[in-house]
Chains A and B, each alone.
Chain A
Amino acid sequence: MSTLVVCSVTAAQFLLASAMACALFRILRGPRAQDRVLGFDSLYVNAMLLLLVFGIRSGSTLYFEAALIVALLGFVSTVALAKFLLRGEVIE
């Protein structure tokens, strides 16, 4: 792996970790429930991108499956939380 790729992977990891910190701050600060759900949504998208960057750094395609599962479960949980905010229960 060339030094250019190593440097850019490190920079991308730093940027994505800062983005995750921003989303975490939004989850903690609120001010309402839908803001927290939105922060959680962008937190899992950033975690999925960080997994893809980890895959490039380690050179294995194993991280791709983990990223796919994170995307899948994140979508389901966001829809379940939004449904809970809308109706008061998830499955009616």
Chain B
Amino acid sequence: MNAVADTLTALLLVTGAAITFVGTLGLLRLRTFYQRVHAPTLGTTLGMTCIALASMIYFASTANRLVLHEILIVLFVTVTTPISLMILVRAAVFRDKFENTMSERNTQ
């Protein structure tokens, strides 16, 4: 039982960290802002869930009882990430439109 829990913890940890790293690498490599918004959400959904699951399995196997408080982080981040990114993209769209109208006004 303990060996199974250790293997699962190790697998989920490395998978989650690798997914988060790929997502943040996308934040660095993609070209425009609207492409870059998509990349880090890989880490905030799948990577975060994998690492929280690994932590839950590890503490449940060491304490010999069910440990579920990492679900709080999973729920909170899953709910808040779309809200904050939607407000941020709305601000970016507003700024782009504002700069376009200003440059048109300057060329006339």
Contact = CB atoms under 8 A, between A and B. Distances in A.
A8 B51 CA distance: 12
Interface residues of A, number: 50
Contacts of B6: 2, 4-5
Contacts of A9: 13
Chain A interface, DSSP helix/strand/loop, else mixed: helix
Interface residues of B, number: 52
A78 B20 contact: no
A41 B85 CA distance: 9
Contact of B84 (A26, A41, A49): A41
Nearest to B99: A32
Interface string A71-85: 110010011011101
Contacts of B23: 19, 42
Contacts of A2: 3, 6
Contacts of B9: 5, 8, 56
Interface of B: 3, 6-7, 9-11, 13-14, 16-18, 20-21, 23-25, 27-28, 33, 36-37, 40, 43-44, 47-48, 51-52, 54-55, 58-59, 62, 67, 69-70, 72-73, 76-77, 80-81, 83-85, 87-88, 90-92, 94-95
